[in-house]
């Protein structure tokens, strides 16, 4: 990961916060609609994270 990067305060209070809220809301929606356990959400989020892990390791 590029250690020199950080989100600006405006980004943290804007797009980053919005993205976080959207992810949380979509996970809650998935639980409501499928009645899946939290462990399934964790597995899904891990899969999403792994998509970016390969990108980080190449940098």
pLDDT digits (tens, 9 = 90+) for 10-57: 999 999 999 999 999 999 999 999 999 999 999 999 999 999 886 555
First to last CA, the chain: 7
Q: Are 35 and 41 in contact (CB under 8 A)?
A: no
pLDDT band at 6 (very low <50, low <70, confident <90, very high): very high
Q: pLDDT value at position 34? A: 98
Q: Transcribe the chain into DSSP letters.
A: --TT----HHHIIIIIHHHHHHHHHHHHHHHHHH---HHHHHHHHHHHHHHHHHHHHH-
pTM of the model: 0.78
The residue with greater pLDDT, 1 or 20, is 20
Could you give the CA distance from residue 46 to residue 38 in angstroms, rounded to a whole number?
A: 12
């Amino acid at each position: 990961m590029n250690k020199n990067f950080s989100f600006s305060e405006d980004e943290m209070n804007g797009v980053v916060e919005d993205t976080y809220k959207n992810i949380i809301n979509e996970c809650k929606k998935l639980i409501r609609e499928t009645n899946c356990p939290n462990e399934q959400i964790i597995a899904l989020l891990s899969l999403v994270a792994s998509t970016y892990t390969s990108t980080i390791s190449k940098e």
